[in-house]
Amino acid sequence: MSKDDKILKEFTSKEYEHGWSVDFDVDQAPKGLNEDIVKLISKKKNEPKWLLDWRLEAFSNFKKIKEPNWSNLKIPKIDYQDISYYSAPKKKKMLKSMDEVDPELIKTFEKLGISLQEQKRLSGVAVDAVIDSVSIGTTFKDKLSELGIIFCSFSEAVNEHPDLIRKHLGKVVPTKDNYFACLNSAVFSDGSFCYIPKGVRCPMELSTYFRINASNTGQFERTLIVADEGSYVSYLEGCTAPMRDENQLHAAVVEIHAEKDAEVKYSTVQNWYPGDKNGKGGIYNFVTKRGICNGNNSKISWTQVETGSAITWKYPSCILKGDNSVGEFYSVAVTNNYQQADTGTKMIHIGKNTRSKIISKGISAGHSHNSYRGHVKVMRRANNSRNFSQCDSLLLGNKCGAHTFPYIDIENKSSMVEHEATTSKIGEDQIFYCLQRGIDEENAIALIVNGYAKEVLKQLPMEFSVEAQKLLSLTLEGSVG
Amino acid sequence: MLEIKNLHASIDNTKILNGLDLSVNAGEVHAIMGPNGSGKSTLASVIAGREDYDVTDGEINFQGNELSDIGPDERAREGIFLAFQYPVEIPGVSTTNFMKTAVNQIRESKGEKPLDAVEFLKLMKEKMKLVNIKQELLSRSINEGFSGGEKKRNEIFQMAMLNPKLSILDETDSGLDIDALKIVSKGVNALKSKENATVVVTHYQRLLEYIVPDFVHVLMDGKIVKSGDKNLALELEEKGYDWIKVKN
């Protein structure tokens, strides 16, 4: 037993002395954040020592870093000691029939066009065995494993594919990254892992939705996607249905590796609880998403539709290391009532002939504030690199705000960066034109807003895109008039 | 069908219509003529229900219903159509999508089933012929980058799609060359029936050679000062609007 191990053992056995973390059946850790909690989480998950060390390193960094204050957000003080960082995956309470579901929720489901079976599944009503998602999930998994694709929960991957995890975890978002990423690295509960082997084109959209045991991945989710040489995968995160969660703080991390000639398309629809009309409640969503185009000719494309959360702090980024690699960022961020969003991307051009494209569409209504923040950096050796950024803001009403913060850093003379930005209001003329054709005001706004966001929405997989369109309209319901 | 009595309307406290009377029956074509600033476009907007205008007195009855408490979208669903003088652009929204939304919302308000994609396409193909419009144009963002002629043809195409009871054409001839004018007029004439009525708002007599009116009204200083048949338009063309001013 090495010296480290000894100390570790001492520490872990110490926990027992205190008594509060002894019982492995305990569902929830006590509130508070300290090294013992980090150890407890790791232990509960039966993790190897290297992972515990990795978590502890992240935690020690977390203690040294200050909470970021550069965003254009008003973030209420968060008491990190008042949060419980571990709770065992709980079984949701099953409801007997749709009659027990909140009628408001059913109304929203109907507007989104979600089927009755699906509504039951989402709201926790027992579902018929025939369409049980587990069985769908199983067939799905068989098909993937034939191709050598790994798609499982993060915990499962730690046990079954430790080499892959160890090789890639923390390589894009290291343990000394930003404040929220450090927090996630120290205390993440679970998440998803996905590996696409060399030359394999994943035949279906991978969605966490289909993954068995995907529910309750909790507030500190960790996702790792590795696309080996020449592979392709399209990954979907989230769900257009309203997501209810009692945890106020969410700090997820997503890391993507794209090797030579590989392509990863990552699409998100975020619809967490945004708080009520007066800005009370709602999720604080502090996410770190980053991908590296490691090999030549690789490509990473982020598409996001952000409609939920009280506060969104999120910058899906691409490190374009391989020559000729491509990074893309397509975003629609909608804020209404008192929601705040500070979102954008970073494109770091390192390799030669690297290209990046940023299309950001912000829509603000009510009293909300919506900021685009983007950083385009072209390093010294990134010859002939190109970036094109377009950041548009659309305002509904006169109490909301739209802001654009582009940072551009170019160290290479042969490269070219273009930035376009517009701010507009929905014109009364446009609305009257729609009204005069018999379209009511709500549909008119939906039509105009969806037209405005079309360039981004068309990047989403088909079914997702249709739902996202409905979601946009729903988020803006009642915002004009 | 349309009965306007003593209509007074203003915008930003400027009075524009001062006691206007107009009566339009099914099967009729009326032309409203008048010099710049006489209130022609205001009349068109007020009938359509544009909220920028305040109706301070008088009433508008459409098919027996007083319109003052009815919003523009509901008026449209009841069968009032306005072909705009300056149709607006809506980026990212194709005419096809725009019309599908409109047609189906109108159907829904009447308790009819929405048209599915196939039925809608069939209807569209049929109406496209009327104004000689290509499908490619209808797939583009509405009015974005359209020529003057394309915009007006698109307005008449929409009119054909919605099959209104009362169509108001606001300066539809402005900015059109003679070929485009012929196409647009042909479309309007083809849509004429005993059940519907058309009000043509125009500066010039030229359009009325193609869309022949049953009645011509001269609008000046916010009211109709003279009415007659199509010969009135010719007389105006010859003598100018001052002729009426002097007579008054």
Q: Which CATH superfamily is domain B2-247 in?
A: P-loop containing nucleotide triphosphate hydrolases (3.40.50.300)
Residues A175 and A26 in one domain: yes
Q: A338: distance to nearest CA of chain B, Å?
A: 27
Domain co-membership, A202 together with A63:
yes
Question: Does residue A9 or residue A318 have the better pLDDT?
Answer: A318
Does residue A383 lie in a domain region? Answer: no
Average pLDDT over chain B, rounded to an integer:
92
* pLDDT value, residue A165: 95
Q: Which of B48, B40, B66, B56 is nearest to B7 (CA)?
A: B56
| Mean confidence (pLDDT) of chain A | 82
pLDDT recorded at residue A69? 86
| Nearest by CB: A438 against B76, B90, B93 | B76
Residues of B in contact with A425 (CB under 8 A): none
pLDDT tens across B45-63, in order?
A: 999 999 889 999 999 999 9
Q: What is the pLDDT of residue B130?
A: 87
In a domain, A227, yes or no: yes
Amino acid A216: pLDDT: 44
Is the predicted pLDDT of residue A36 greater than 80, yes or no?
A: yes
Task: Please indicate whether, in this complex, the C-beta atoms of A439 and B101 are within 8 angstroms of each other.
Answer: yes
> Which candidate from A439, A441, A448 shows the least CB-CB separation from B102?
A439
Between the alpha carbon of residue A293 and those of residues A230, A301, A324, A351, the distances in Å are 12, 10, 10, 9
Q: Any residues with CB less than 8 A from the CB of A22 and at least 6 apart, and which?
A: A15, A16
Would A50 be classed as within a structural domain?
yes
Say which residue, A436 or A21, is predicted with more confidence: A436
Q: Is the pLDDT of residue A91 over 50?
A: no
Q: Tell which of A314, A329, A353 closes a domain.
A: A314
Domain count within chain A = 2
The answer to whether residue A103 scores a pLDDT higher than 80 is: no
The pLDDT of residue B159 is above 60: yes
Mapping DSSP to helix (H, G, I), strand (E, B) and coil, where does residue B111 land?
coil
Looking at A314, A334, A363, which one is the last position of a domain?
A: A314
DSSP class of residue B53 equals S
Q: What pLDDT is recorded for position A218?
A: 55
**Inside any domain, residue A282:** yes
- The range of the structural domain enclosing residue A438 comes to 426-481
Question: How high is the pLDDT of residue A12?
Answer: 35
**Residue B16: enclosing H or E segment and its boundaries?**
strand B14-24
- What mean pLDDT do residues B8-15 have? 92
What is the average per-residue pLDDT within A448-477?
A: 83
The pLDDT tens digits for A165-179 are: 999 999 999 998 999
State the pLDDT at residue A283: 85
ipTM: 0.96
Contact (CB, 8 A) for A368 and A339: yes
Taking CB atoms and an 8 Å cutoff, what residues of chain A touch B49?
435
Of A278, A297, A314, which residue constitutes the final position of a domain? A314
Residue A234 pLDDT exceeds 90:
yes
pLDDT band at A30, cuts 50/70/90? confident
Option in B49, B73, B162 nearest A440 (CB)? B73
Contacts of B199 by beta carbon, 8 Å cutoff, 6+ apart: B2, B24, B29, B30, B31, B32, B44, B47, B166, B167, B168, B169
What average pLDDT does this structure show over A101-119?
62
Question: Mean pLDDT across the stretch A132-138?
Answer: 43
Q: What is the mean pLDDT of residues A95-100?
A: 66
pLDDT tens digits, residue range A258-277? 999 999 999 998 888 888 78
Q: Identify the residue with better confidence: A300 or A12.
A: A300
**Of residues A196 and A20, which shows the higher confidence score?**
A196
The model's confidence at residue A2, banded by pLDDT at 50, 70 and 90, is low
Nearest CA in chain A to B109: A438
Higher pLDDT, B80 or A152: B80
| Whether pLDDT at A323 is above 90 | yes
A155 and A8 assigned to the same domain: yes
What is residue B182's DSSP assignment? H
A interface toward B at CB cutoff 8 Å? 427-430, 432-441, 443, 447-448, 450-455
From chain A, pick out residues whose CB is under 8 angstroms from the CB of B168. Answer: none
